[in-house]
Amino acid sequence: MKYSYYPGCTLRTKAKELDTYARKSAEALGFTLEEVENWQCCGGVYPLGTDEVATKLSSVRALRDAKEKGQALVTLCSACHHVLKRVNDDMKNVPKVRDAANLYMGEEEPYMGETEVLHFLEVLRDKIGFEELAKKVVNPLTGKKIGAYYGCLLLRPGQILGFDDPENPTIIEDFIRAIGAEPVSYAMRNECCGGYISLRDGEKAQNMCDAIMENAAGFGAEMLLTACPLCMYNLNKSDKLPVYYFTELLAEALGVKEAE
């Protein structure tokens, strides 16, 4: 099974090891990530202006490339996933954006939003299955109490992203169980970490991260697990709990981390 793969900027620069863990884990689980050729930055933020088309074109190019290969498009980064999924929805359902983007692209056949956009966690849940994942685990993380941290971009807007219940998600907790650890539920797992204001107002962002950490620790979490590089960067400024990316613990559980 092959998927087109959009790594995004952070996973190709500051966090290359997280990308490597994902590729090796995918192979261990029986599927391959084929990186989109000549991909460009998605911008990291979905542009809300209805007349803002040019900044969506990098996403459209990646989506079109996956369509031409007949593959779903997979991402690891919640920001990339958020932008790609919303742009794809525009290309399906917003004629003004779709027509302008296709005019810019100048392709003979217009792109109409045909590509399926998946976060890597959705591949594990919906294509592989967490029960099958659990069977592949050779190094279960038994005894580790892990708090899932969702943040903002994976879950909202719920109707467009369709990732999980935005108020009561379970996918990361189910992933934690599949790799043999114990998920810890806490109230602030869906709260913003302040990632997008960290440069403008570092103190406020720090306070937001500290509150999340304290809440998770208060319910017994020994560490946090996230699927967003920006959240991971921001949360790691707090020293209250260690923060891990989901691909690192996945690679550890599957026994492929040490090989790197």
What pLDDT digit, counting tens, does each position of 149-164 carry?
A: 999 999 999 999 999 9
For residues 92 and 183, state if they share a domain: no
């580790």: which residue's tokens? 144
Question: In terms of domains, do 177 and 237 share one?
Answer: yes
Q: 29 near 254, Cβ under 8 Å?
A: yes
The pLDDT of residue 250: 98
Can you tell me the mean pLDDT for 185-203? 89
Which CATH number fits the domain that encloses residue 25?
Answer: 1.20.1050.140
Is the same domain home to 142 and 221? yes
Please check whether residue 12 lies inside any domain of the structure: yes
pLDDT at 49: 82
User: Is residue 202 assigned to a domain?
Assistant: yes
- Looking at the structure, tell me whether residues 7 and 109 fall in a common domain: yes
Which two structure tokens, joined as six digits, stand for 141? 């993380």
Q: Provide the pLDDT for residue 39.
A: 95
Give residue 50's pLDDT band: very low, low, confident or very high (50, 70, 90): confident
pTM assigned to the model: 0.95
Based on the fold, state whether residues 103 and 76 are members of the same structural domain.
yes
144 and 91 in a single domain? The answer is no
β-sheet with 73-75: strand ranges across: 32-35, 2-6, 73-75, 117-119
pLDDT the model gives residue 10: 87
Average pLDDT, the chain: 95
Predicted confidence (pLDDT) at residue 196 exceeds the cutoff of 90: no
Same-domain status, 86 and 166: no
- The CA-CA-CA angle for residues 97, 42, 2, to 5°, reads 100
Tens digits of per-residue pLDDT, 200-251? Answer: 888 999 999 999 999 999 999 999 999 998 899 899 988 899 999 999 999 9
CATH number, position 156: 3.40.50.11810
Q: Which domain holds residue 81?
A: 2-120
β-bridge mates for residue 226, sequence order: 149, 245
pLDDT at 197: 85
What is the pLDDT, as a whole number, of residue 201? 85
Cis peptide before 157 (omega within 30 of 0): yes
Instruction: Give the per-residue pLDDT at 145.
Output: 98
One domain, residues 16 and 81: yes
The number of folded domains in the chain is 2
Cα 193 from Cα 150, distance rounded (Å): 10
Q: Choose the final residue of a domain: 120, 154, 175.
A: 120
Name the nearest CA neighbour of 24 among 120, 122, 144.
120
Among 93, 120, 147, identify where a domain stops.
120
pLDDT digits 0-9 by tens, 7-33 = 999 888 888 999 999 999 999 999 999
* Stretch 101-125: mean pLDDT: 97
Note whether 47 and 140 are same-domain residues: no
* Pair 224, 151 in one domain: yes
Report how far Cα 217 is from the mean position of its chain's Cα atoms.
Answer: 24
Q: Are residues 137 and 109 in the same domain?
A: no
Q: What is the pLDDT of residue 239?
A: 83
What pLDDT score was predicted for residue 260? 46
Whether residue 193 has pLDDT greater than 60: yes
Residue type, 247: T
Q: Per the domain annotation, does 260 fall within a domain?
A: no
The residue among 94, 120, 146 that closes a domain is: 120
DSSP annotation of 169 reads -
Q: What is the dihedral of CA 240, 139, 136, 219, to 10 degrees?
A: -30
Question: Do the Cβ atoms of 161 and 155 come closer than 8 Å?
Answer: yes
Q: pLDDT tens across 125-153, in order? A: 999 999 999 999 999 999 999 999 999 99
Model confidence at 172, in pLDDT bands (50, 70, 90)?
A: very high
